[in-house]
Structure 1
Amino acid sequence: MLLAVSRILDVVLETTSILQTLSVNAIVGLLATIYTAMGA
């Protein structure tokens, strides 16, 4: 069960690696913005 899920996740991550990179960049940027706003 877990092996099948991880295998599906691997396929999904491979096909959406560009989207994943963009979303990670967006999340990091958002966190940085919030952190800066709280620090200001």
Structure 2
Amino acid sequence: VLGIGLAEEIVRVFLTTPFEGGRHARRLALIFGGPQRRG
């Protein structure tokens, strides 16, 4: 159980942290309609 202040801080950090791409970029491209490969 988190206090409201800590929960707000966690959300603030999550929303303001830049996306780094990397290993997640390919997965997000598939989820959001990126190029589809079948093989």
TM range (shorter): 0.3 to 0.5
Q: Higher relative CO (CA 8 A, sep ≥ 6), structure 1 or 2?
A: 1
TM-score normalised by length of structure 1 = 0.40
Greater fraction of residues in helix: 1
TM-score normalised by length of structure 2 = 0.41
